[in-house]
Amino acid sequence: MLLTELLHPGILEALAGAGHGARVLLADGHYPASTAVGEHARTVHLNLSPGVLDVTTVLGVLLRALPVESAQVMVPPEDEPEPPAVAEHRSLLAPVTVDTLDRFAFYDAARSPDLALAIVTADVRTYANLLLTIGVRAEGTLTPR
């Protein structure tokens, strides 16, 4: 039995094989996951029912399991306001840098060969998509027993 709260075998396997600089996509329920992910990425579907398990919930668990170096969010055209999901991501990720990408630039970034894992959620909020870049573990973060 694991001592971590992250128990999903597919997610654990993909993260264990990913290293510094690899990326993780957290996709909302609108994301075209069959066509807009990197060819090497493992895709995990957590979209049981609309609204059941959102990007924010998955992000909270991942932030307790891996270091994040930087992040990118998908944003609407400039004449539209920033979606609430983006503000929520910024808050949870602070002080990590969160860059913005328009829809098609975000799709291109998610198709990167560095994408190790795509997690598809049932988030019904628009523009809730998030790309994380894995950082490095700080020295002394593993407590020997």
Provide the 8-state DSSP code for 48. S
**How does pLDDT run across 53-70, given as a tens digit for each residue?**
999 999 999 999 999 999
pTM to 2 decimals? 0.93
- CA 95, 64, 55, 117 dihedral sign is positive
Q: What is the pLDDT along the chain (145 residues), one digit of tens a residue?
A: 678 899 999 999 999 999 999 999 999 999 999 999 999 999 999 999 999 999 999 999 999 999 999 999 999 999 999 999 999 999 999 999 999 999 999 999 999 999 999 999 999 999 999 999 999 988 876 655 4
CA distance 55 to 72: 13
Res 58: pLDDT: 97
Q: What ranges make up the beta strands (E) of the chain?
A: 23-27, 42-45, 68-75, 97-102, 115-120, 130-134
- At 38 the three-state DSSP class reads coil
Res 138: pLDDT: 82
CA distance 110 to 141: 29
Contact 72, 100 (CB under 8 A): yes
